[in-house]
Amino acid sequence: MRLLTKSNAQFKKAITKLPLGVSSNFRYWGEDKTLYIKKGKGGRLWDIDGNEYVDYRLAFGPVILGYADTRVDDAVREGIKIGGVFGLATELEYEVANRVSRMVPAAELIRFSNSGTEAVMAALRIARAYTGKDGHIILEGSYHGLFNEVMWYAEIEDWDPKKGDPEILPEGDGIPKIIKKLVHTTPLNDANAIEDLFKKKKDQIGAFLMEPIMGNACSIAATKQYMTDIRKLCDQYNILLIIDEVKTGFRVARGGAQELYGVKADICTFAKAIANGYPISVVAGREEIMRQFGKGVAHGGTWTAHSVALSAASKTLEILEETDALKNIEQYGLKLQDGISSILNSRSIAHSYSGHPSMMGLFFSEKPPSDYRGWIDADQSFYDLLAEELHEIGIIIEPDSREPWFICEAHDEKCLQETLEKFEQAVDITLRK
């Protein structure tokens, strides 16, 4: 059994200064389970008690090459020498913007920000300005960051399908109720549902904000047909398609989910994998839309295009564009799925995967659901118990089964073998519970 003596003591200290003892609600795993990390290297983490883990959370996705990647960190050291931020522009911004455009054809023009939340806020703002319509649609089960316009969820746990669509509720306190008027939700993979909504509300809705692979709903994925349909419908009803690639961007393909699906967004957002864990994000899109920044639409920020984050992005994107890193990540994901499947099949445990091998959802059901309503119907109890056991023996996945397993380039054969051995042990312990 792993010891968490130092993490538990740190929690007791930290709670006196930090709500929940952490700096993000999602990092709190309970009084005796919250982890404090000493360091990360490659595909592994060490907590302050010295427990070692193969990590498949990877900070919710940004770590695409591996923790403390020397290629990126050397570039960052050069970035420090530039001097940080100046409240003025640098040459590096153009260089990185150019590479993003080359990798993602929809990204005709680009603006940098610091977090996914900021990029999506900017995307919605510019969509409202361009269309003159304040409303927007999000998918049921989606997550687009912590700001008022997207912190609304479709309540499906106590929902009675006979009574119509689920109720839309704020995700916690402090969100102005008045904003609800702007927000509409729709289930993934139902083109008829969205067409009905477009027909009814096309004069109020400026944008459909969506992820083709729902990175916060177990990587439940859109079908190719759905993506083709919504692209056409958005054009037909004069509604902008915003594809949020904060999780999928520079991960599922060099050109993100848009390349995978062969669909071009009007506006798209990127953050996590762009700089291997350094804080930077991108809002990008069609030139005609993006030119409004500076012509009536505000955008900026003190830390925007910081020389450290830009240097990290420049090197990370160079590696992703010019090497086989993403192919290798995908191969690892496929081998992991094969290994997991043979363990589960030999015990007759029904299971399936969703999303992409680089950010896969694991379901204990014959087929993955096609939308979030289906996730609620699936039994998650085996997953929840299994996750706890995996933590105990040195494999980190997110305890909430809505979060996919993320793979990085540094996950090597040794990580794979260790993961499969431990997965088998954890399954057997879970079965005995």
Ligand X SMILES: Cc1ncc(COP(=O)(O)O)c(C=O)c1O
Dihedral of the CA atoms 344, 347, 348, 353 (nearest 10)? -10
The residue from 51, 117, 219, 370 that contacts ligand X (CB under 6 A) is: 117
Going by C-alpha positions, the residue among 286, 257, 309, 284 that lies closest to residue 119 is: 284
Closer residue to ligand X, CB minimum distance, 117 or 311 = 117
Contact code string over 122-141 relative to ligand X, x by CB under 6 A? --------------------
| Integer Cα distance of 193 and 112 in angstroms | 34
Going by C-alpha positions, the residue among 363, 388, 390, 398 that lies closest to residue 378 is: 363
Q: Is 247 in the site for ligand X (CB under 6 A)?
A: yes
Q: Is 144 in the site for ligand X (CB under 6 A)?
A: yes
Going by C-alpha positions, the residue among 59, 35, 40, 37 that lies closest to residue 271 is: 59
Residue 124 CA, distance from chain mean position: 18
Q: Is 145 in the site for ligand X (CB under 6 A)?
A: yes
DSSP 123: H
The two structure tokens encoding residue 33: 């389970």
| In contact, 146 and 296? CB cutoff 8 Å | no
Site for ligand X in 38-67 (CB under 6 A): 60
- Residue 371's identity, in one-letter code, is D
Q: Is 143 in the site for ligand X (CB under 6 A)?
A: yes
Q: Which range, of 6-14, 190-198, 241-249, 300-308, touches ligand X by CB under 6 A?
A: 241-249
Q: Is 115 in the site for ligand X (CB under 6 A)?
A: yes
The minimum distance between CB 179 and ligand X, in angstroms, equals 17
Residue nearest to ligand X (CB): 116
Q: Is 278 in the site for ligand X (CB under 6 A)?
A: no
Closer residue to ligand X, CB minimum distance, 339 or 399 = 399
Contact code string over 212-231 relative to ligand X, x by CB under 6 A? ---xx---------------
Going by C-alpha positions, the residue among 373, 61, 369 that lies closest to residue 223 is: 369
Q: Is 116 in the site for ligand X (CB under 6 A)?
A: yes
Angle between helix 307-322 and 325-345 (nearest 10)? 70
The minimum distance between CB 227 and ligand X, in angstroms, equals 16
Closer residue to ligand X, CB minimum distance, 211 or 389 = 211
- Residue 393's identity, in one-letter code, is I
If DSSP codes are grouped into helix, strand and coil, which group holds residue 46?
strand
Residues in the chain, total: 433
Q: Which range, of 211-219, 284-292, 376-384, 395-403, touches ligand X by CB under 6 A?
A: 211-219
Q: Is 403 in the site for ligand X (CB under 6 A)?
A: no
Number of residues that bind ligand X (CB under 6 A): 15
Residues that bind ligand X (CB under 6 A): 60, 115-117, 120, 143-145, 211, 215-216, 244, 246-247, 271
